[in-house]
Each structure stands twice: as structure tokens, then as C-alpha cells.
Amino acid sequence: MRTPDRRTVAIAAGLDVLAVLVFVVIGRRNHEQGNALDATIETALPFLLGLAVAWGATRAWRRPTAMLTAIAIWPVTVLVGMLLRRWLFDGGTAASFVIVATLFLGACFVGWRTAYRLRERTARSHQPQVALDR
């Protein structure tokens, strides 16, 4: 297994952060809470902290594009995010919210990695074959 380069790690972390931010923006818009930057950040912060804990606990930087990484960071992000939201940020954690957050973040974390893997596989299959002279 080769070590991923810093660019790959940064892109993977950025896509995971983007997934959290998209979840928050869609949720705030659907509940007509507006998209004020400070309120959006406040809503996203427990989940961004949960994501940071998940990346640290799973050492996601070692295999940032792996499906197992997605499966590992997904529940940690949701669990830590919900606990922080409930106990430190005085936010709601209704069952429906927990379900939607779990499904959305899981779909995003697994989804972009699936697309990445398919793209990599396609790129490898289209590489020219080198003939060996013997």
C-alpha cells in the first residue's frame, strides 16, 4: 500500500468537510432558518468537530479515499456531532434529525469515495499498455 500524497489527503478532508457544510446549508434552508454565515458555522461546528475526531481516531489520512475509512468516520462523526450539539451547543437531536444526518452524511462520505474509486479504475483501464520486447 502506498502512502497518499498531501494533496489527496487535503482533497479528501475537504470533501468530507463539504459534505457536512452541504448538509447544514440544506437543512437550514429547508427549515427556513436562512443562510447567515455565523449561524451556518454554529450549526456545522459540532459536526465539523465530530469529523475532526473521526479523522483522528481512525487515522483517516492513511487511507483517505478508502471505503473502510468512510465506514469508520461516518458513525463517529454523527455520534460526536450529535453529542456536542446536544450538550455543548444546546441544539436539538430529535430522532428524525439523527436519522437524516446519519443517512445524508453516510451517503456523502461513501458516495464521493465510490465515485473516486470508479474514476481511478476507469483511468487505469484507459492507460496505454506498454509492450515488452523479449
The pTM assigned to this predicted structure is: 0.86
Residue 107: which of 11, 10, 23 has the closest Cα? 23
> What pLDDT is stored for residue 37 in this prediction?
83
State the Cα–Cα distance between residues 17 and 12, nearest whole angstrom: 9
The arithmetic mean of pLDDT across residues 20-32, rounded, is: 87
Position 132, amino acid? L
DSSP state of 57: H
Residue-wise pLDDT tens digits, 76-126? 999 999 999 999 988 788 999 999 999 999 999 999 999 999 998 888 877
Which pLDDT band holds residue 71 (cuts at 50, 70, 90)? very high
Which pLDDT band holds residue 19 (cuts at 50, 70, 90)? very high
